[in-house]
Chain A
Amino acid sequence: MTHIVKIKGIIALILFVISTLPSSAQQELSAVPCQEVPHLIQQFTADRRAVNRFYTVGMSPERRERLILLYNDYLTALDGLDFNVLNQECKVDYLLFRRNLNEYIRFAKKEEEEFKKVVTWFPFADSVYALEKKRRRGASIDAKRVAIYWNNLAKEVRQLNERFVESDAQFTTGEILTAKQTIAGFQTALTSVFEFYNGYDPSFTWWAERPYKQLDSTLSRFATQFESKLPPADQNGIISREPVGRDELVKLFTYEMIPYTPEEIYEIAQKEMAWCDQELIKASRELGFGDDWRKANEYVKEQYVDPGKQPETILRLYNESIDFIKSNDLITIPPLAEETWGMIMMTPQRQRYTAFFTGGWEISISYPTNTMDIDQRLMSMRGNNPHFSRATVHHELIPGHNLQFFMRDRYRTYRSEFSTPFWMEGWALYWELLLWDKKFPQTPEDRIGMLFWRRHRCARIIFSLNFHLGKWTPQQCIDYLVDEVGHERENAISEIRGPLSAGTRGAPLYQIAYLLGGIQMMHMKKELVDGGQLSYRDFHDGIIKLNAMPMEMIRAVLTGRPLTKEYKTQWRFYDDNDLKIIK
């Protein structure tokens, strides 16, 4: 970086602070940073809502093509704006909006490819779509013809079904999901036709009901056949999804503005894990367990409170954390946010997928009920011991998810389009990193609690990458979490079941985003706060009011770094020789 750029950056930063931060002026942050780009984004989201509401048939080419047309229209509109005259924040909006539109198109094209692979099993698809299209416009209908057509179609589907059972057709789990969604789309189209005429049109009412019902249930059976082509479940009942592979990972990292290869990221996670291990041994020795950190970890887990006492424990931990944040003057907390966060108990059903408490508008406390098996109850209590909980209460509430939700509803609201786990989870995790550095943990037990989570986030990178690079099975991921992080086995299974099961297209980078986003935040903090340009409070207040976006763009706004229309991700935020992010 040249000096000129640096100076410009500082000037821009000062301007930014003067114009937007409440600490320097009574003036509130403006409603929008400029007029045209927020407006365009708002128009787009309203248009997309309208299109989605009207084209209801999932997986249909018509719906897909209409959405692609919409994305292209808005790319054209963006193209008509003069990037260079926009202010910094709106340049960021421009870059991100264009990036999103291109990504939506990429996903639509991927969907189309999968659709093409399965649609050979549905030679009748076009006729089903065509009938719904006619009905949508209110056309009169020849009921007898529809009845005969549906009757024939049901026969055809039964034959296809038989051929399918006998065939040795092979599908990926993603294709099976696509096939099921395509069939569900046919059913949506059929039902839309049926409900529009049945009862209202005398001839249709006489002709169509029986063939409709037969066809609908025949299609449901066909969908079940596709499911039977899934690979068998492992001993934990998990059917693995396919790894997305290295190419896709690279594309997704680029989209999220992370300019590292999967291998580099893997190395970062390992380095961070190694650091955690050292700290863990220190804490373990202090507790008298020598180098056997697993024993120390078990000891901490045994500190759980009695059933019925978890809510007051969580409240106590919250108060400790919020007092700490206030007394260190780290961020402005709106009194209304403190007043209105709620507390509920997590239902036993949700606890099957979520072993630990979760945050947001309200904190949802995970703790056992009398309806759960005794083994489960003990595991739940051990996993939710006060030292583990103390490590993440600020992650889930304030300044983490609760405050994020709170601020996102109030500032730059049009940016909901740019939401990313690198900001949502990265910011929340950053507070764990920062509070560690600020010596929030009071005892070795507290430190072990914080390290448990920190190692867990390193582990999430390691298992996610190993899985999606095709190296590990879900079982290996679970074993790793139990053996290397010290998870209860049930808790580890519930951690893996969601993201790695077939039947989901869940974002492969989600689990990775926590630690990487947190490290990005730490880097920015080092640059701006430790560098003496901003106080903690101004730094944090500034970021939380920008709403969610990739951290590299947050940094561009805060520092005023020049942006070009062809900007590519370039921020190498992890340099362990130079930056010493981690103390």
Chain B
Amino acid sequence: MRTSLLRSRVIVAALLLLAPGRAPAQADNEFVPCQVMPQLITRYDADLASLRIAYIVEYSPERRARFEKHDRDYLDKLSKIDFSSLSQECQVDYILFKRDREEQLRLSQAEREAVEKITKWFPFAEAIYDEERFRRDGSDIPDSKQIALRYTDMIKQIKALRAQLKTDESLNVLDIYTAGNIITGLQTALRSAYEFYNGYDPLYTWWVPLPYENLVRELSGYADDFGEQLVAGRLQMDDSGIVGKPVGREELIKLLRYDFIPYTPEELIDIAMKEFEWCDAEALKASREMGFGDDWKAAQEKVKETYVPAGGKPALIRRLFNESLDFIKAHDLATIDPLAVEVWGLRMMSPERQLVNPFFTGGTSISISYPTNTMEVEDRMMSMRGNNPHFSRATVHHESIVGHHYQRMMTNRYRTYRSFGTPFWTEGWALYWEFLLYDMDFPQSPEDRLGMLFWRMHRCARVIFSLNYHLGKWTPQECIDFLVDRVVFERANAEAEVRRSFGLRITPLYQLAYMMGGLQFSGLKRELVDSGKMPIKEFHDKVLTLNAMPVEMVRAILTEQPLDKNFKTSWKFYEQAPFWK
């Protein structure tokens, strides 16, 4: 099954060997594009892994300073490389590697400021950090009695602080998040020392275990107290129960520049609105064809009612997968490694995961969301309606081939040293295939089209609600209402979506990256394929062998755009829109 592909690899390799001068362009795509940048990036990652083993205390000043030094060291190394002597691809590596080091330093500084703001709540932190450092060094034995006395004092200190915290109203969401991370770090430090001495050192074993247990318990209680401030009501923007922190316009712009998006948040909302209007118009067409006139929401209800009975979902997903793959093959849109088809797996999503993932998710195997007998009957109905065949048909290629499953196959095989992953590439590319297939008349019926449009509206909505929230204009409740009214989300699904979107660990740009990345790839296709410069299959194959990176850099490589080492984003990818027929 694999021999034909292997043979083509061998032929490429053989060609390479026959041409001792410059390797043929096709062969270039298979291997590393130069030596110096892959080597530098591999070493950076390996060094970082070493540092992570040595410095284990989250949010400690020592760890932060050491990681910053690491980034500065590599900026230094980078500055010694002659940018102009690099090949196009390695110039891109240079630009992205530099960008990432600078961004790390910026985020690290932000972390430092966040910690400094709340140091008064942790007067004992330095002593705990010192103890872990002492234990890590190992050159002296500990004074166990002093440790026991110190821990006892700390417990008293924390008890007093907890009383103070009960009435405090000065902390914001970010402060509380930071406090939680500091406490986790302190517990890591304490545990590291405890496990090193307890049982092995007779004096320590006699003195320390009891005060240690008490101190750890007190710290956990302290962390719980911080957590309770979140739900106390003072920090709620509305009655939705969702607590997050809008990052503000300035930070949004910084993040957009980092991800090479040269638009303002307002411009992006405009773009999303325009795309939404296009979806509305298409939905109306489909609705009329189905006999629902201008009431497309009624047409959508009808589509939702087409769900298959419980137990029938896996066979359906398999059929949809085959339809979509056949379509892609029949139109010769990309080279598909047969191994990817062979090893694509099916799993059922556990009821626990379905609570946060109402729809199927992709990757190495597809994880199918469909109800079990252990779920509430109303939830079962909601799940079946949301996972009707037409909705699923719209995204199976997004999750499998040529989307996430295939992306992972290829990033594991080509340019593996690149660590520039971004949702604009991962989600943008997967969504781009939905756009492309819609345009190529993959949907066979108005029901199919409504299925695809549901997702597309959803991605427009994500841009609009997440930006409005982070600009401080909308509350979480307004975001939920918007999803329910405009995209016809089930309310429970809308709440889960909004809650997930505003967690502090997810980048504020994640939700808008789908649509914007998809538009970037569409713009690039317009520029290269529609203009006749490159066959569509070659375009897709090339993108996949470059590994993940901002789409503007994919463009720079494919168009051989001259680059400067202080490259700034400038690609207004939406200027050529509309991209759709």
Chain A interface (Cβ within 8 Å of chain B)?
Answer: 28-32, 35-36, 38-40, 42-43, 46-47, 49-51, 53-54, 69-70, 73-74, 76-77, 80-82, 85, 136-140, 195-197, 199-205, 307-312, 314-316, 336-337, 339-345, 348, 361-362, 367-371, 406, 409-410, 413
Smallest CB-CB separation from B70: which chain A residue?
A: A336
B197 to chain A, nearest CB (A): 8
In contact, A36 and B31 (Cβ under 8 angstroms)? yes
- Residue B196 at the A interface, CB < 8 A? yes
B136 within 8 A of A: yes
Q: What's the dominant secondary structure at chain A's contact region?
A: helix
Q: What is the bound-complex CA distance between A46 and B364, given in angstroms?
A: 12
A152 CA to B53 CA in the complex, in Å?
53
A50 x B409 contact (CB < 8 A)? yes
**Top 5 A-B residue pairs of the complex, sorted by shortest distance between their CB atoms:** A80-B10, A201-B311, A369-B199, A199-B372, A308-B201
Q: Which of B40-48, B243-251, B489-497, B513-521 contacts A (4 or more CB under 8 A)?
A: B40-48
Interface residues on B, range: 35 or more
Contact B6 A342 (CB under 8 A): no
Q: Is B16 an interface residue (CB 8 A)?
A: yes
Task: Known contacts A36-B16, A36-B31, A49-B412; decide if A31 and B314 are in contact (CB<8 Å).
Answer: no
B416 A308 Cβ-Cβ under 8 A: no
In the complex, the chain B residue whose C-beta lies closest to that of A36 is B13
Set B13, B35, B202, B374: member contacting A81, Cβ < 8 A: B13
**Is A308's CB under 8 angstroms from B46's CB?**
no
- Would A138 and B314 count as touching, CB distance under 8 A? yes
- Report the Cα distance A47→B338, complex, angstroms: 11
Which one of A42, A51, A410 lies within 8 Å of B343 (CB-CB)? A51
Select the residue from A36, A40, A348, A371 with max chain B CB neighbours within 10 A.
A36
Supposing A35-B30, A85-B17, A140-B315 touch, asked if A77 and B9 sit within 8 A by C-beta, the answer is yes
Residues 446-479 of B at the A interface (beta carbon under 8 Å): none
Q: What 1/0 mask marks residues of chain B from 12 to 51 whose CB sits below 8 Å from any chain A CB?
A: 0110110000010001001110011011001100110111
Q: How far is the CB of A320 from chain B (nearest CB, A)?
A: 13
A29 neighbours in B (Cβ, 8 Å): 39
Whether B196 and A73, one on each chain, are in contact in the complex, defined by CB atoms closer than 8 angstroms, is no
Q: How far is the CB of B353 from chain A (nearest CB, A)?
A: 13
Q: How far is the CA of A545 from the CA of B49 in the complex (A)?
A: 18
Q: A200-B348, A307-B200, A410-B46 are in contact. List 12 more A-B contacts (CB 8 A).
A: A28-B39, A31-B39, A35-B16, A54-B344, A73-B2, A80-B13, A81-B10, A201-B310, A341-B54, A345-B196, A406-B46, A409-B50
Q: Smallest CB–CB gap between B60 and chain A, Å?
A: 15
B31 engages A35 (CB within 8 Å)? yes
Residues of chain A contacted by B3 (CB below 8 angstroms)? 73, 76
Q: Which of B199, B313, B416 contacts A371 (CB 8 A)?
A: B199
B196 touches which of A76, A82, A336, A344 (Cβ 8 Å):
A344
Contact yes or no, A205 B373, CB < 8 A: yes
* B317 beta carbon closer than 8 Å to chain A: yes
Contact, CB under 8 Å: B204 / A308: yes
* Cα–Cα, bound, A40→B30 (Å): 10
Minimum CB distance partner of B351 in chain A: A199
Interchain CA distance A140-B346 in the complex, whole Å = 13
A28 touches B50 (CB 8 A): no
Partner of A410, one of B30, B43, B197: B43
In the assembled complex, how far is the CB of residue A306 from the closest CB belonging to chain B, in whole angstroms? Answer: 8
A42 and B370 contact, CB distance less than 8 A: no
Which residue of the partner chain A has the closest CB to B34? A31
CB-based contact B311/A200 at 8 Å: yes
Tell me which residues across on chain B come within 8 A of A70, comparing CB atoms: 2
Taking a contact as CB atoms under 8 Å apart, the answer to whether B2 and A53 are in contact is no
A308 adjacent to B50 (CB under 8 Å): no
Please, which residues of chain B bring their CB within 8 A of the CB of A316? Answer: 139
Interface residue B570 (Cβ < 8 Å from any Cβ of A):
no
Residues on A with beta carbons closer than 8 Å to the beta carbon of B138: 311-312, 314-315, 343
- Chain B residues contacting A39 (CB-CB under 8 Å) are 30-31
Nearest CB on B from A57, distance (A) = 13
B240 at the interface (CB under 8 A from A): no
**Can you list 6 A-B pairs, Cβ within 8 angstroms, ordered by A?**
A31-B39, A46-B413, A51-B343, A312-B141, A369-B200, A410-B42
Residue pair A406, B50 in contact (C-beta under 8 Å)? yes
In the complex, chain A residues whose CB is within 8 Å of the CB of B204: 308
Residues of chain B lying within 8 A (CB to CB) of residue A311: 138, 196
User: Does A344 contact B195, Cβ atoms closer than 8 Å?
Assistant: yes
Are A308 and B203 interface neighbours, CB within 8 A? Answer: yes
Q: Which residue of B lies closest to A316 (CB)?
A: B139
Binary interface encoding of chain B residues 295-312 relative to chain A, with 1 for a CB under 8 A from any of its CBs, else 0: 000000000000000111
Inter-chain contacts of A49 with B (CB < 8 A) = 412
Flag if B413 contacts A308 (CB, 8 Å). Answer: no
Chain A CB within 8 A of B140 CB: yes
Q: Which of A28, A77, A309, A344 contacts B10 (CB 8 A)?
A: A77
Q: How far is the CA of A205 from the CA of B373 in the complex (A)?
A: 8
